[in-house]
Amino acid sequence: MSNLEVLSIAELEAAAMEKMDKMTREYYNSGSDREITLRDNLAAFDRYRLRPRVLKDVSRIDTSTQLWGKKISFPLCIAPAAMAKLAHPSGEVGISRAAANAGVAVGLSSFSTSSMEDVVAQGAGAIDYAIQLYVFQNRKTSEVLVRRAERAGFKAVFLTVDTPYLGRRINEVRNRFKLPPHLQLLNFENPGDVAVYSENETKAHGGDKGKPPAAGAGVDSILPQGNVNDASLNWETDIQWLRSITKLEIWVKGILTAEDTLLAVQHGVDGIIISNHGGRQLDGVTSTLDALPECVAAAAGRIPVHIDGGIRRGTDIFKALALGADCCWVGRIPLWGLAYDGQAGVELALKLLYEEFKLCMSLAGCKSVKEISRDHLIRVKTDGTLARL
Ligand SMILES: Cc1cc2nc3c(=O)[nH]c(=O)nc-3n(C[C@H](O)[C@H](O)[C@H](O)COP(=O)(O)O)c2cc1C
Ligand SMILES: O=C(O)C(=O)c1ccccc1
C-alpha cells in the first residue's frame, strides 16, 4: 500500500499490522486483561455528537495552541511509548523528526531504544520534549535519568503514576516478549542499574552493578514480576523528592479522578495527563474521555489538563478539547506510522490528524481552539437519546 492509499488512521493501523511481527504487534496493540478499558477509550468518543455552529467565517482557521511557552501546530502531541525500534530501525529518532516537521511536542519513554540526546537533537530547538519517568527501586537510576534529561534540554518530566506494578498483559507472557539482541534501552548508562531483577536474581547477578540481561532478555527480565518500579511512590514524599532533584516542570501522567487532580494541584505539579496508559494497566477503569470532565472541574484552570487514550481521529481531539482538555497525546498511532513507513509514516499520521482536526474546527464553526466549548457537544445516552451537557 502506498502512502496515497492510506487515508485514515484506521487504514494506517491496518497497513501497519501487516508489517509487524506477532510479538511487536501484540505488545503495541494489546491492553491488559479483558481489554475493557482499551475498547472503552475509543468507544467513549462515540458517546458524543457534535453541535456545529454555522455562518462563522471559517475562511481562516488557527489550529495552534501553546505548550511550555511555545506554539504547537495543533493540540496533539506524541505520548511516550517504550521501544519504538521494534517498529522500525529509526525508532524514536524517526518519531522525533516527524514531530519536528509537524510542529508538535514529544514525550519520550524511559524505556526508549534511542538515546534521549539523539531524540532531542532532531528537534533543533523547534519543538519541546518531555522525559517520561518511572521511579525505580534504585532511585539513583531515576535521578541520573532526570539529570541527564535536564542537561539534554528536556522541558518537563512526565511522572507516570499508574504503574506501581505492570498491568497483566497476557500477550507478553504468551509471546515470551523480549527485546531483540540488537536493541538497547539507551537512556540507562548501565542498564543493569534498573531494578530489572527480583531481589534474589539481583544478588545472583551481582547486585545493582550486575550486567543487564541484554541479549535474549524477556519480559520477565526487562519487567520482572512487575518489579521495575518503586511501588512505595506516594503523594506525601515523592513529588517533593522529584522537585528536589530537578528544575524541570513536573507533570503527573495517569490521573483519572477529581480527587487525584486536587492532590496534584496541592502538591504543586505543573500539569496532569488524564491517562489509563492506553488500557494497559488496570483493566476496567474509566475511559479517559469519561474521566476528563471531573478532572477539568477539579483543576479549575489552575494547571493544564491533558489527555491520552483512544484518540484516533481529528474529531476525537475536538471532543476532548470541548470537554476541557488543553491538549491530546497519542501513543499507538506514531508506532503504527513508524511500522508502516518509518519517519514518513509518522508524518503521514500527523498530517491526517491535523487535517481532520482543522476540518472539524471549520465545519463546527471554530476559528481558534479557544472557541471550542462544551456547547459544541451533546451526549448520546445508553437509550440512544441525546442529552445537552
Ligand atoms: C507500546 C506502548 C508502550 C508504552 N510505553 C509507555 C511508557 O514507557 N511509559 C508511559 O508512561 N506510558 C507508556 N505507554 C502509554 C502511552 O504513553 C499512552 O498513555 C497511551 O498509549 C495512550 O493511548 P493510545 O495508545 O490509545 O493513544 C505505552 C503505550 C504503548 C501502546
Ligand atoms: O509497555 C508499557 O506500557 C510500559 O509502560 C512499559 C513499562 C516498562 C518497560 C517497558 C514498557
The Cα 227–Cα 277 span in angstroms is 18
Q: What is the CA radius of gyration of the chain?
A: 20
109 CA to middle of ligand 2, Å? Answer: 8
List the one residue out of 48, 104, 106 whose CA is nearest residue 321.
Answer: 48
Residue 224 has pLDDT above 50, yes or no: no
Of the chain, the percentage scoring pLDDT greater than 90 comes to 85
Q: Which residue's C-alpha cell is 437509550?
A: 383
What ranges do the domains of the chain cover? 3-169+224-388
Residue 155 has pLDDT above 90, yes or no: yes
Mean pLDDT for the stretch of residues 333-341: 98
Q: Is 277 a catalytic residue?
A: yes
Q: How far is CA 201 from the centre of its chain?
A: 31
CATH architecture of the domain with range 3-169+224-388: Alpha-Beta Barrel (3.20)
Q: DSSP per residue over 80-118, as a string? A: P-S-GGGT-TTHHHHHHHHHHHHT--EEE-TT-SS-HHH
106 CA to middle of ligand 2, Å? Answer: 17
389 CA to middle of ligand 1, Å? Answer: 30
Task: Give the pLDDT band of residue 83 (cuts 50, 70, 90).
Answer: very high
83 CA to middle of ligand 2, Å? Answer: 9
Residue 110 Cα: closest atom of ligand 1: 8
**Verdict on whether the full-model pTM lies above 0.80:** yes
Site to probe by mutation for ligand 1, drawn from 277, 281, 330 as the one with most ligand atoms within 8 Å of Cβ, is 277
The Cα 152–Cα 101 span in angstroms is 20
pLDDT tens-place string over residues 188-199: 876 555 543 333
pLDDT at 2: 66
pLDDT tens-place string over residues 99-115: 999 999 999 999 999 99
Q: How far is CA 191 from the centre of its chain?
A: 23
For atom 8 of ligand 2, the residue with the nearest CA is 223
107 CA to middle of ligand 1, Å? Answer: 10
Per the annotation, binding residues for glyoxylate are: 27, 132, 134, 169, 277, 280
pLDDT at 228: 74
For atom 2 of ligand 2, the residue with the nearest CA is 82
Per the annotation, binding residues for FMN are: 80-82, 109, 160, 253, 275, 308-312, 331-332
Mean pLDDT for the stretch of residues 325-337: 99
Ligand minimally distant from the alpha carbon of residue 160: 1
Site to probe by mutation for ligand 1, drawn from 177, 229, 280 as the one with most ligand atoms within 8 Å of Cβ, is 280
pLDDT at 199: 34
Please write down the long-range contacts of 237-240, taking CB distance under 8 Å and 24 or more positions apart.
238/135, 239/159, 239/267, 239/268, 239/269, 240/267
pLDDT tens-place string over residues 258-288: 999 999 999 999 999 999 999 999 999 999 9
The Cα 377–Cα 360 span in angstroms is 12
Ligand minimally distant from the alpha carbon of residue 223: 2
Site to probe by mutation for ligand 2, drawn from 223, 253, 282, 332 as the one with most ligand atoms within 8 Å of Cβ, is 223
pLDDT at 285: 98
The Cα 177–Cα 223 span in angstroms is 10
CB-count exposure of residue 107 (10 Å: 0-12, 13-18, 19+): buried
**Whether the Cβ atoms of residue 153 and residue 120 lie closer than 8 Å to each other:** yes
The Cα 143–Cα 307 span in angstroms is 26
Residue 357 has pLDDT above 80, yes or no: yes
Residue 214 has pLDDT above 90, yes or no: no
The Cα 353–Cα 253 span in angstroms is 23
pLDDT at 207: 36
Residue 73 has pLDDT above 70, yes or no: yes
Task: Give the pLDDT band of residue 206 (cuts 50, 70, 90).
Answer: very low
